[in-house]
Amino acid sequence: MEALKVKENIYWVGVKDWNLTEFHGYHVSHGSTYNSYLIKDEKIALIDGVKQYLSQENIERIKSVTDFSKIDYIIVNHVELDHSGNIPELVKLAPQAVVVTNSAGKMALEAHFDTTGWNFQIVKTGESISLGKRNITFVTTPLLHWPDSMMSYCPQEKILFSNDGFGQHYCANTIWASETNFGIVCEEAKSYYANILFPYGMQAQKALNTANELNLEIEMIAPSHGCIWNGKEEVNWILSNYAKWASGETDGSAVVVYDTMWGATAKLAETITAVFQDAGVPVVKRCLTNAHTSEVMCDILEAKYVVIGTPTLNNELFPRVAAFVTYLKGLAPKNKKGFAFASYGWRGGVVNKIQTIMEELGWQTIAPFEEKYTPKPEVLEKLKEHTKQILG
């Protein structure tokens, strides 16, 4: 378990979780990594830990470049357990190390672990520690996506250790975005934002503004999940896309998401999709029988229009649709236009449950549409005219 060189005397000492397929209900297609970094200078700093069950790999990689007795600082950027799970074990191996975090991080560490005897140093945005030739400056990013979230920046190397920000759930043979399928890395970065950071656009904008105010020159972003962004082109790609996603800017596209029992709701979805296509609006149609919720959220991230349909089952939303709208509500996408549609057998009205969620999210909506049993051609014509209202 050898450390991998990031720059001279800066090493990746993380672990790769090839078998990860699910994270908080979010479907993970390519596994993930838990990235930990070690900087050797006159003083030695370890940045972030890993999941507890993968701790031994992290420890072996650290040992390949230094002895634990020589570590001066353990920097905890975020206390979620995929990053802090083995911090108690690391502190036991390096009891002399100062645990550097912010005030919310200290509270969270104390809530998760027995921190008796730990030597804490509490930092705020703009404060730094010196390692010798290098400094580490801290940028607290509260609620991106936990209250304790923080990033660490090395100005001499122009590296931002960004923890969950700018990451991807992606596992590869390399730690570099440029040395694997860059298109997939970009898609996974988009998926990560859509499924984890979507509710925190305001906080993401604030973090980007803080980086500008501190005049951080960034030529490398080393996140805690996935590949490292290296060079101005890659860094500019991820920073500019985060700025776009955080602003709620849309690309004018549409998403029709639904499920179906006997095909009635599918016919409604096909009709709505055709209206968008005929109007020249890029549209994707996602049936939840086949499409995972987290994949649909990637479509919704930049979409302008979102239309959601369900069959009625036992006077309730169809289960996969109910799960989807619950997930959607939690991620709280803004700046959308849409409506709900449904099919039913002997009792209607369930469509209003979806419509209510859209309204709670502040979306611009038109009235919901529902039809009993299989929709006839004249009903589909009415649906076409109804759908055109959202384009107005």
Taking the C-alpha atoms of residue 37 and residue 221, their distance in angstroms, rounded to an integer, is 12
Options 17, 57, 164, 299, the catalytic residue: 164
Spot the catalytic one: 17, 41, 57, 80: 80
In this prediction the pTM is 0.93
Tell me if residue 82 is catalytic. Answer: yes
Q: Return d(Cα 281, Cα 342) in angstroms, integer.
A: 22
The amino acid at residue 228 is I
Q: What is the pLDDT of residue 11?
A: 98
CA distance 40 to 80: 25
- Does the active-site annotation cover 164? yes
Q: Annotated catalytic, 30?
A: no
**Distance between CA atoms of residues 65 and 77, nearest Å:** 22
pLDDT digits (tens, 9 = 90+) for 96-113: 999 999 999 999 999 999
Q: Enter the DSSP assignment of 196.
A: I
Superfamily of domain 4-247: Ribonuclease Z/Hydroxyacylglutathione hydrolase-like (3.60.15.10)
State the catalytic residue, choosing from 41, 57, 82, 157: 82
* Whole-number pLDDT of residue 200: 87
Alpha helices in the chain (DSSP H): 55-63, 81-84, 87-93, 103-112, 182-192, 201-213, 232-247, 264-278, 293-302, 319-331, 351-360, 377-388
Structure token digits, residue 317: 């939303």
Q: What is the pLDDT of residue 204?
A: 87
- The answer to whether 145 is a known catalytic residue is yes
- Report pLDDT for 104: 97
- pLDDT for the residue numbered 202: 86
CA distance 315 to 345: 9
Catalytic residue among 30, 78, 83, 386: 78
254-391 has which fold? Rossmann fold (3.40.50)
Whether 4-247 and 254-391 share one fold: the answer is no
Residue pair 368/340 in contact (Cβ under 8 Å)? The answer is yes
Under-50 pLDDT residues of the chain: none
Ordered by start, the domain boundaries in the chain are: 4-247, 254-391
Alpha-carbon span 288 to 305, nearest angstrom: 18
